[in-house]
Structure 1
Amino acid sequence: MPSTTVYNLAGEAVDKLELSEQVFGITPNMAVLHQVVTAQLVNRRQGTASTKTRAEVSGGNKKPYRQKGTGRARQGSTRAPQFRGGGTVFGPKPHPYHQDVPKKMRRLAIRSVLSDKLANENLIIVNDLSLEQPRTKDMLAILEKLPTSEGKRVLMMLPQRDENVVLSARNIPTAKVQHVSSINVVELLKHDFVVMPIKTVKWIELVFGEGLSAEEASKKIAEETPVESGSEA
């Protein structure tokens, strides 16, 4: 069973965490990864590129010159493709680029990336990831203390939205904060390091290991988390 070190925000190793072999210990499936990444990038395309044919461009109602006697090729309109201002032949037209990918393939691709991140020591687990107030300087200090290489792209995945963390990382070009329910292959591959608290790891294991839905996993983690005295239920 794979395991990794758990750090605190001061960059100190405080614990060891055993991870699900089904999620973090598989051999990456490169073929599925390629297919899922391709589909995700294709689905981002709007498909709104459009050109006008000779029937759609304005002008050209009059025959440019007489049919015979000029020695030139016969022409019926100056909006034919060979003329300046004419229509486009076989140009792009709006159409959908959507590609469907089976749910099992998407989940296998995410498990493959997570396993690869862990194997290459690019997955960093922290006991908690929160700030008392939004401050970019504090976030930079945290990233410097954690075992992330300077100048590398870091993706922080939170189990629930924390406005202080989001605002603190907003002005750091190499850092991005994302909710764990938005986990996707492209973002995981685009960033060199992935930082996540233990609650995020549990959510991922419930969803991608045990097959729970995102809502069921969030509800189960909320039930296991003790409510602090004085806080709202």
Structure 2
Amino acid sequence: MKLTVFDTAGKELRQIDAADEVFGIEPNRAVLHQAYVAQMSNRRAGNAHTKTRGEVEGSTKKIRRQKGLGVSRQGGVRASHHVGGGVAFGPRHHDYIRDLPRTMKRLALRSALSSHAADGDIIVVEGLVPAQPRTKDVQATLKALAVERKALLVSGEYEPNLTRAGSNLDYAKVLPAANLNVVDVLNAHKLVLTEEAVRKIEALWGGLNVKPARGRRVEEAV
């Protein structure tokens, strides 16, 4: 498929070829959903934890005898209705990690990129990385490209000037191509890429880069 390259003033320069297996597949909505939910779930710490009446310190002796006093029945001081007692039905430490097969992760990212490409929401910019880490330069570029909503700026490698300049914009996020993920791609209305980022993405998630299953060998593609 073709992607249009613009300069920082928003002028169309040329078109480049992009790998269909990365930017031109039919998006798999089910896999996209699973990958998104899994990634968001993996961000949860799950550290909230309370002690039950069996875990707090305190005597297990019955407070008073069961009958004959004309007052309510009471057990131990560690019961949940006593101050300092255990918590009834409180949060417990939980592991929210969800793992997905590598093939599904790759398919999900390809589907996300292809969905943006089909909607015309991928913009390739020549000269996106500023010479100085000035926010106004990146802001002017995005304005010239009519990018006014949440945008994901992707460079081929880590670019400190672009990262620092883009960090002051609340509607922009900067990532190197190797850190591209389903959540950030789907949350962005526009993907603003350098041409180097396009080639890096193709190299990382293109069809020739599929790794063999563990224990198997495949011949290198000629």
Task: Sort the TM-score into its range (normalised by shorter chain).
Answer: 0.7 to 0.9
Name the counterpart of 1:228: none
**2:21·2:207 contact (CA, 8 Å) conserved in 1?**
no
Contact kept? 1:139, 1:168, Cα under 8 Å: yes
SS at match of 2:207: coil
Counterpart for residue 126 of structure 2: 127
- 1:43-122 matches, within 5 Å, as 43-59=42-58, 63-122=62-121
TM-score by length of 1: 0.83
Runs of 5+ unmatched residues, structure 1:
214-233
State TM-score, norm by structure 2.
Answer: 0.87
Q: How big is the alpha-carbon RMSD for the aligned residues of Structure 1 and Structure 2?
A: 2.0
Distance, in Å, in 2 between the alignment partners of 1:38 and 1:57 is: 35
Identity, % of aligned positions: 42
C-alpha separation in 2, matches of 1:8 and 1:154: 17
Matched letter for residue 200 of structure 1: A
Work out whether residues 158 and 179 of structure 1, in 8 Å CA contact, stay in contact via their aligned partners in 2.
Answer: yes
Alignment of 1:173-184 (within 5 A): 173-184=170-181
Give the distance between the partners of 1:18 and 1:81, measured in 2 at CA.
66
Distance 1:78 1:121, change over 3 A: same
Decide whether the 8 Å contact of 1:128 with 1:198 is kept in 2: no
Q: Does 1:165 align with 2:186?
A: no
Per the TM alignment, residue 118 of structure 1 is displaced from its structure 2 partner at its CA by 0.9
Output one character per residue of 1:128-149: Cα deviation in whole Å (capped at 9) or x when no partner.
322111111111111101132x
Q: 1:61 deviation in Å?
A: 5.5
SS for the counterpart of 2:186 is: helix
Matching residue of 1:193: 190
Q: 2:153·2:193 contact (CA, 8 Å) conserved in 1?
A: yes
Q: Give 2:216's aligned residue.
A: none
Contact 2:159–2:176 at 8 Å: present in 1 too? no
Q: Contact 2:176–2:197 (CA<8 Å) still a contact in 1?
A: no
Distance 1:168 1:178 in 2: 12
Cα deviations by residue, 1:113-168 (Å, 9 ceiling, x for unpaired): 111111111111112322111111111111101132x2x11110111111111111
* Over 6 Å off, 4+ runs: none
Helix, strand or coil at the partner of 1:194: strand
Query: Matched residues in 2 for 1:71 and 1:36: separation?
Result: 61
Provide the rounded CA distance (Å) in 2 between the counterparts of 1:158 and 1:60: 62
Structure 2 residue 209 is matched with structure 1 residue 212:
yes
